[in-house]
Amino acid sequence: MASFERASPALKEILLRIYRAEKPIEVDHHLYEFGSVEYHIKSSASAPQLTYLSISTPLLTQGVLLSYGLSPYTTQMVREISTDVLEIVEPATEGYQLTLRLDFSKIPRGKDSLKVITEVSSVQSIILSSQLKEMLQSVNSWDASQGMYKPIKLVYHPREPFYVIRQPHKIVAVFPMRFKDYSDVIIATSFFQELMDVGSSEKWAKAPPCNWSPIPPAELRGEPLEDLSTNGGFVSFDISSRHVEGKRLDKTVWSLLNFYAYVKHHVKCTRGFIQRRMRRRLESLVEVLQNSSLEDDRHIRKFQENAGWQYMKKLVKLSSKSKILKRSCRDFTRKIMRIRFRIKIHGFGRFRRRWLTMLKFSSSKGYTKLE
């Protein structure tokens, strides 16, 4: 169960495409989903209204149940999805546990069509939850003469079994938690402690009491050691009759079946959150260091710029006055020279500028000569 939605998104899309097709189309899809779920959808152009849907899903094994396939309760729950549209084909296609014949002509038009197709797409979740529902529905019918019940081991995923133990007036669901990484164990453990804290508060008194312990609970004594060796401890929920009344039964069953996936999803999201936060913090820490190294340069540059600008400002302010002064001096000297030097040599000025001016000292390294 990769997603927490009951309806398979891929199956829903294919069924909608077949339903909405304007012309009859040939369809023969094999669909594989996470959790070893396999679908086979077949529709032929010669009979466009009929579509065959075969499902293969790992059942909650209990030893006895598996050998007889789906229980009558499960087949009844599947029929109740839509009695008009859906019909169970006996026997099922080879390699599959269940084959359904869907009659699209009987699907009501409009918005209801989407609802019906969504319910058909959730057939796998209905099969899975019906088995657990059967067990939980008998919470009130516990017989005192039977004594202590042996824990029932339910295996959806080969490495993630969980136990259901019947007790007077309640059923206890125990989840042994295992994680690959040590940091996952710590994150999950903090989550379980929060779950216990929240569950024990008055506001959530109606929710099933939750308990976490690092060691196996007493009810699981006698179970094989390989099933009881965990690194994440054991989480148990006490399901009472209040949690299985009416519509709550469906929600309770779905929540219990998805508990492992829920925890793993939370751990994965937390790791992603930590990573994102570390990256953001890195940027801010590096910025501090960069500012510390560049700050002085900026100050010096600013000072120089400011000094240059102020100098320029001063120059601009004075230039008009100095220009006028210079111009008037130049004119005056020229007048004097004209009066004094009546003999003019053409080109002497150029000669003087080229050969008679003092050379300025310059260095490639930009040193200024000290006097």
Partner 1 sequence: MANTLRLYLTCIRNTLEAAMCLQNFPCQEVERHNKPEVELKTSPELLLNPVLICRNEAEKCLIETSINSLRISLKVKQADELENILTKKFLRFLSMRAEAFQVLRRKPVQGYDISFLITNYHCEEMQKQKLIDFIVQFMEDIDKEISELKMSVNTRGRLVATEFLKQFV
Contact residues for partner 1 (CB under 8 A)? 182-183, 186-187, 189-191, 193-195, 197-199, 204, 206-208, 210, 243, 248, 251-252, 254-255, 262, 266, 269-270, 273-275, 277-278, 281-282, 285-286, 288-289, 292-293, 295-296
- What is the CB-side half-sphere exposure of residue 158 using CA atoms within 13 A? 1
Separation between Cα atoms, residue 215 and residue 210, nearest integer Å: 15
Instruction: Pick the closer one to partner 1 by CB: 50 or 195.
Output: 195
- Rounded least distance, CB 366 to partner 1, Å: 21
Sheet holding 37-43, edge to edge: 27-33, 37-43, 50-56, 98-103, 86-89
- The continuous run of DSSP H or E covering 121 comes out as helix 111-121
Instruction: Pick the closer one to partner 1 by CB: 43 or 236.
Output: 236
Instruction: Pick the closer one to partner 1 by CB: 149 or 191.
Output: 191
Strand partners, 154: 162
Q: How many CB atoms lie within 10 A of CB 102?
A: 23
Closest CA to 73 of 84, 92, 85, 59: 59
Q: Is the peptide bond before 168 cis (omega within 30 degrees of 0)?
A: no
CB 244 within 8 A of CB 137: yes
- Rounded least distance, CB 354 to partner 1, Å: 47
- Rounded least distance, CB 251 to partner 1, Å: 5
Coil, strand, or helix at residue 305? helix
Separation between Cα atoms, residue 60 and residue 72, nearest integer Å: 15
- Rounded least distance, CB 154 to partner 1, Å: 19
Contacts of 51 (CB under 8 A, 6+ apart): 15, 18, 27, 41, 42, 43, 101, 102, 104
Coil, strand, or helix at residue 213? strand
CB 200 within 8 A of CB 209: yes
- Rounded least distance, CB 128 to partner 1, Å: 16
- Rounded least distance, CB 24 to partner 1, Å: 42
Q: Where are the alpha helices (DSSP H) in 200-247?
A: 225-228
Instruction: Pick the closer one to partner 1 by CB: 206 or 350.
Output: 206
Chain mean position to CA 111: 30
- Rounded least distance, CB 183 to partner 1, Å: 5
CB 259 within 8 A of CB 234: no
Instruction: Pick the closer one to partner 1 by CB: 186 or 337.
Output: 186
Coil, strand, or helix at residue 48? coil
Q: How many CB atoms lie within 10 A of CB 71?
A: 15
- Rounded least distance, CB 73 to partner 1, Å: 22
- Rounded least distance, CB 209 to partner 1, Å: 10
Instruction: Pick the closer one to partner 1 by CB: 234 or 254.
Output: 254
Instruction: Pick the closer one to partner 1 by CB: 106 or 281.
Output: 281
Instruction: Pick the closer one to partner 1 by CB: 77 or 239.
Output: 239
Instruction: Pick the closer one to partner 1 by CB: 89 or 186.
Output: 186
- Rounded least distance, CB 232 to partner 1, Å: 13
CB 50 within 8 A of CB 77: no
Question: What single-letter amino acid sits at 211?
Answer: N
Instruction: Pick the closer one to partner 1 by CB: 153 or 243.
Output: 243
